[in-house]
Structure 1
Amino acid sequence: MMRKLIPGIIALVLCTQAAAVDVTRHPIPNSKFPISAAVEVPAGSTLVFLSGVVPTAIDAKAAKDSVAAYGDTKAQTVSVLKSIQAQLAGMHLKMGDIVKMQVFLAGDPAKGGKMDFPGFMEGYTQFFGTPDQPLLPSRSAMQVASLANPGFLVEIEVTAVRP
Structure 2
Amino acid sequence: MTKTALLLGALMSLSTLTAQADTLKRVDPPGSTFPISQLVSVPAGAALTFVSGTLPDVADPKAPAQTIAAYGDTETQARSVLKKIQAALHGQGLTLGDVVQLRVFLVGDPAKGGKLDFAGLQAAYTEFFATADQPKKPTRTALQVVALPLPGALVEIEAIAAKAP
TMscore range, shorter length: 0.7 to 0.9
Corresponding position of 1:117: 118
Higher gyration radius (CA): 2
Q: Which runs of 5+ in 1 are unaligned?
A: 1-17
SS class of match (2:158): strand
Aligned residue identity for 1:42? P
| Cα shift at 1:41 | 0.2
Aligned residue identity for 1:133? Q
| Cα shift at 1:89 | 0.5
CA distance in 1 between counterparts of 2:21 and 2:128 reads 21
| Cα shift at 1:60 | 1.0
Taking every aligned residue pair, what percent have the same amino acid on both sides?
Answer: 53
Q: Which runs of 5+ in 2 are unaligned?
A: 1-18
Aligned residue identity for 1:78? R
Q: Normalising by structure 2, report the TM-score.
A: 0.85
1:25-80 superposed Cα distances (whole Å, 9 cap, x missing partner): 01111000000000000111110000001100011122221000000000001000
SS class of match (2:149): coil
1:98-126 superposed Cα distances (whole Å, 9 cap, x missing partner): 00110000010111111000010000000
Q: Normalising by structure 1, report the TM-score.
A: 0.86
Aligned residue identity for 1:48? T
CA distance in 1 between counterparts of 2:21 and 2:86 reads 19
Distance 1:143-1:60 versus aligned 2 partners, 3 A rule: same
Distance 1:20-1:130 versus aligned 2 partners, 3 A rule: farther
| Cα shift at 1:150 | 2.4
CA distance in 2 between counterparts of 1:20 and 1:120 reads 34
SS class of match (2:144): strand
Runs of 4+ in structure 1 deviating by more than 3 angstroms, as ranges, are 18-21
1:76 paired to 2:77: yes
Corresponding position of 2:140: 139
Kept in 1: contact 2:55–2:150 (CA 8 A): no
Kept in 1: contact 2:22–2:44 (CA 8 A): no
Corresponding position of 2:162: 161
1:135-161 superposed Cα distances (whole Å, 9 cap, x missing partner): 000110000011012210000000001
Corresponding position of 2:54: 53
Kept in 1: contact 2:75–2:124 (CA 8 A): yes
CA distance in 2 between counterparts of 1:92 and 1:46 reads 12
